[in-house]
Amino acid sequence: MEEAIRQLPALNSIPIPRLVKIKDEVTTIQIYGFSDASERAFGACVCIRSDNANGELRSRLLCSKSRVSPMKQISIPRLELCGAQLLARLIKKVLPILCIPIDSVHLWTDSRLVLTWLQDIPTRWNTYVANIVSEIQDITSNFFWRDVVSEDNPADIFPRGTGPEEMWRVCQWWNGPSWLEQGEVMAPFQHCYRSNSS
């Protein structure tokens, strides 16, 4: 706690650019959301990726949200599911506010079990999981969920409890994983899942 208080003044020196999309005439705009969790916390972040006619790409952090894990012990997979739920709710709030045409939305988690839950009908799971899965499926029925390795997940900053002094130096947090600015997006070990909303 003392360390967190000590680092608070560092927040004043973190430069946050207001322009998140690329300059010049934008060709496409895509939204990339990431979630992660641990016994300490879970969270989600949203990046906006844009390009122009010259083939230039830009990926920038748009917004994020986090929660401290409940004091009541919950398994890591369920906390990962809570992270995915937080991401779905964040996407639901962000899209209407942007007021710009979005070409596609891509959601990522490093939990294969969460993706398995989302791929099937909620009634297959117990009540706790089923309720969250049902909500996520309702919100993200038009989007694809993908798996990402933990090293490429910018939302990994939440479970680690990164302080301000370190945060501003984490390029992946501000820009997303490096492959977001490398043309066609193909994350390592990528698998694609459509959430089952039926």
Nearest in space to 67 (alpha carbons), one of 103, 41, 45: 41
pTM metric for this prediction: 0.86
d(CA 68, CA 188) in angstroms, rounded, equals 29
d(CA 23, CA 51) in angstroms, rounded, equals 9
Query: CB atoms < 10 A from the CB of 40, how many?
Result: 12
Helix (H) or strand (E) holding 144: strand 144-147
| pLDDT (tens digit per residue) in 140-181 | 999 989 999 988 999 988 777 677 667 766 778 888 898 888
Burial of 8 (0-12, 13-18, 19+ CB in 10 A): exposed
Find out if CATH 3.40.470.10 is the number for domain 2-194.
Answer: no
| pLDDT (tens digit per residue) in 89-148 | 999 999 999 988 899 999 999 999 999 999 999 999 999 999 999 999 999 999 989 999
Domain boundaries, the chain: 2-194
